[in-house]
Amino acid sequence: MKKAKKSKTTDVMPSIQNHSRREWRLDLPLPAVIEGQLPQGRKFKETTTIKNISATGAYFSLDSGLAVGSKLNLVISLPKKLTEGKDVKLNVGGITVRLEKPDVKGQRQGVAIRFDKDFRFIEGSRKKKSS
């Protein structure tokens, strides 16, 4: 009698969606740090999780009160399974194109951003050698 094969699963299983969009979108939670300037001129830096990402943009939630057209910089941590175990981050800028008002008081604001064309990959800082 043969044993049934167990299916292999991984921690990083993105859901790929294309709901009448021009670009494919990955529903892959990615930790990120968002920096920008609020409409009042005050700079902010906030940690969040990217809920979905495509070649042209991303969607996430923030506590900061942004306006459509705000320029943001994102530093997104990529899963080590996709980077051969290395600490790699994607640094990309963009402009907010859609904001969602929180339904409940205290809930974070949904933010959709369209990426600029320029981006760069940052490999994790190397450990200093002890003397």
Q: Is the CB of residue 57 less than 8 Å from the CB of residue 112?
A: yes
- Domain architecture of the chain: domains with CATH: 25-122 (2.40.10.220)
Q: What's the rounded Cα separation, in Å, for the pair 14 and 69?
A: 29
pLDDT along the chain (131 residues), means of 10: 42 45 74 94 95 94 90 94 91 96 81 93 62 41
Q: What is the pLDDT of residue 22?
A: 59
Rounded Cα–Cα distance for residues 61 and 109 (Å): 5
Distance from C-alpha of 104 to C-alpha of 51, rounded to nearest angstrom: 19
What region, left, alpha or beta, does residue 122 occupy, with left being phi > 0 and alpha being psi -120 to 50 degrees?
beta
pLDDT of residue 105: 74
Predicted pLDDT of residue 44: 95
